[in-house]
Amino acid sequence: MFLDIINIIYYIFIFIIINLLAIFTLYSHIAILKTSWQLFDIKFFLTYSCGFLIIEYFIYLAYMKYIFN
């Protein structure tokens, strides 16, 4: 019984962390788009876009592990 409560708290914690990562990534995308639009710096935009695509891939993997586990 006690271990079930700990397990539920664990899954809630993981769910919150994954959602916070997704929100942070979204806000970072918006900031990068605003900055690159103001500076007209394509190299800056492409570099950070590739980085955020990698982050989004790991967020997707975390969601899949959370859902299918």
pLDDT tens digits along 23-48 = 887 887 788 777 767 766 677 777 77
Whole-number Å distance between alpha carbons of 12 and 57: 21
Alpha carbon of residue 22 to chain centroid? 3
**So what's the pLDDT on residue 15?**
82
Query: 3-class SS at 69?
Result: coil
Calculate mean pLDDT across residues 7-34.
81
Whole-number Å distance between alpha carbons of 7 and 25: 27
Rg (CA), the chain: 17
**So what's the pLDDT on residue 6?**
85
**So what's the pLDDT on residue 9?**
86
Residue found by looking up tokens 């955020």 in the block: 52
